[in-house]
Amino acid sequence: MERGLESCGRPESNGLRALPIAWTVKELWSRVLETLNLLSPQELSNFRILLKSVDEETRVTPWRLELEGKSKEGLARLLVQHYCEPAAASRVLIKVLQQLRRADLLQRWQDAAATYDQGIPRKILKRSYDCVDGELDCYDLRGKRKAFVMCVEKNRPGAHRDIHLMEEWLGQCQFEHTQCINPNKMELIKKIRSFRDGLNESKDDVGCCLVTLMSHGEKGSIKMEDGEKVSLEDIFEMFNNKNCPALQEKPKIFIIQACRGEKRDCGVETDDAPMESDDISEKRRLPTFSDYFIIYPTQADHVALRHPRTGSVMIEAMSEVFKQHGNKWHIADFFTKVNNRVVHTEFHLHEEPIKVSLVMESTLTKFVYF
């Protein structure tokens, strides 16, 4: 169980003011390009499509986009030429970035729109895939993002805080969620099957599924309010490629906040070639289990930590890291940062030092960016 613890030469006839001295054309172009460089190839493609319909005069015409906006540099130049007022350029970028769901880039341009005569947005940290050569293949998350949140509150002080933080995080990541609080075994199985069936029967494309289970637990299972156990493998199996075709080649993310045993880690003091296949069938196949990402709050057989007031250590760290970095990280990189925070934080259980480390299991085939 868990343990609690230059100026811009626009004609005056257009009715637009000249660019403030603090903003030269070169500087504005540089900042716009900086933002474009942080978009994935798919996001850039969508950026060009969305730009055609932005309700901001004068609208960029499709033929100019085709002729001048194929490269990032050309696209940035086109934006500066059309929207040379910093406030106008900021408004356009905000509208497009909102539809791209790039919350991590929005704040700096929102600040610029409000106080554009005071300076240029600060340099933006790179998204994790910008450090890698070549284009990366990312999951298409433009479909519906569906989440299931289960939490047992009985004998788990701070659980209400976990629910609040998790729902806040899911909202920031554009998930619609189904809530399941204090179920017994049959209620959980019924509700999670109904959630899974809803995905399979949905007329809308589903882009991603996320299941959060927060309760007491032990190796391979979680416990319900009445103490009955539910196998995690049984829950994972409900969403595999056979039982949930709606999620084939879609990311299936599981966040498990529960103990995995009774062991405690008090920590250690320190000084300071493609495979060939015999299958000649032309029919494309997938393994039964693929595109999974599972995060546990602790190592196998070990306890998880939860504070009676601030909630579970992992959930709180997730919230803090997201507030600091937004959604610019691939999910594995995001949870690596969460783990870094958890590992380097001091905890005590009954006045004894205790350390925990998150564990990630992945069969993802692409990159996940919320």
Residue 340 in any domain: the answer is yes
Domain boundary among 69, 102, 127: 127
Cα–Cα distance for residue pair 4/160, rounded to 1 Å? 13
Number of domains in the chain: 2
Q: Which residues belong to the active site? A: 216, 259
End-to-end CA distance of the chain: 31
**Secondary structure of 279-344 in the HEC alphabet?**
CCCCCCCCCCCCCEEEEECCCCCECCEEECCCEEHHHHHHHHHHHHHCCCCCHHHHHHHHHHHHHC
- CA 21 → CA 8, 26, 181, 207, distances in Å? 10, 12, 57, 45
- Residue 101's nearest CA partner among 55, 43, 32, 159 is 43
CATH of the domain at 165: 3.40.50.1460
Q: Is residue 168 domain-shared with residue 113, that is, in the same domain?
A: no
Residue 58 in any domain: the answer is yes
Cα–Cα distance for residue pair 21/118, rounded to 1 Å? 10
Residue 55: DSSP 8-state: -
- CA 57 → CA 16, 68, 138, 333, distances in Å? 10, 18, 33, 39
Cβ atoms of 96 and 50 within 8 Å: the answer is yes
Q: Is residue 213 domain-shared with residue 324, that is, in the same domain?
A: yes
Sorted by sequence, the CB contacts under 8 Å of residue 192 that are 6+ apart come out as 148, 150, 180, 211, 235, 238
Q: Is residue 76 domain-shared with residue 153, that is, in the same domain?
A: no
List the structure tokens of 322. 């997201």
Q: Is residue 153 domain-shared with residue 212, that is, in the same domain?
A: yes
Residue 267 in any domain: the answer is no
Q: Is residue 111 domain-shared with residue 197, that is, in the same domain?
A: no
Containing structural domain, residue 194: 144-261+285-362
Residue 134 in any domain: the answer is no
pLDDT in tens, 165-220: 999 999 999 999 999 999 999 999 999 999 999 999 999 999 999 999 999 998 89
Q: Is residue 351 domain-shared with residue 300, that is, in the same domain?
A: yes
Digit-by-digit pLDDT tens for the chain (370 residues) are 565 553 344 333 333 333 343 456 677 778 888 888 888 888 888 888 887 777 665 566 666 676 677 788 878 887 777 766 666 777 788 888 888 878 777 766 776 655 543 444 444 444 554 444 444 588 988 899 999 999 999 889 999 999 999 999 999 999 999 999 999 999 999 999 999 999 999 999 999 999 999 999 988 999 998 889 999 999 999 999 999 999 999 999 999 999 887 777 666 554 443 434 344 344 567 788 889 999 999 988 888 888 888 889 999 999 999 888 877 788 999 999 999 999 888 877 777 888 889 999 999 998 898 8
Q: Is residue 183 domain-shared with residue 303, that is, in the same domain?
A: yes
Q: Is residue 115 domain-shared with residue 166, that is, in the same domain?
A: no
Residue 33 in any domain: the answer is yes
Residue 370 in any domain: the answer is no
359-362/292-296 β-pairing:
antiparallel
Residue 45 in any domain: the answer is yes
Domain boundary among 101, 127, 153: 127
Domain boundary among 127, 159, 187: 127
Q: Is residue 113 domain-shared with residue 189, that is, in the same domain?
A: no
Cβ atoms of 42 and 102 within 8 Å: the answer is no
pLDDT in tens, 106-119: 766 776 655 543 44
Q: Which long-range contacts (CB under 8 A, 24 or more apart) does 199-202 make?
A: 199/146, 199/244, 199/246, 199/247, 200/244, 200/245, 200/246, 202/144, 202/246
Residue 53 in any domain: the answer is yes
CATH of the domain at 60: 1.10.533.10
What kind and span of H or E run contains 359? Answer: strand 359-362
Q: Is residue 188 domain-shared with residue 315, that is, in the same domain?
A: yes
Tell me the whole-structure pTM to 2 decimals: 0.63
CA dihedral for 141, 291, 243, 257, sign (positive or negative): negative
Q: Is residue 159 domain-shared with residue 73, that is, in the same domain?
A: no
Q: Is residue 115 domain-shared with residue 148, that is, in the same domain?
A: no
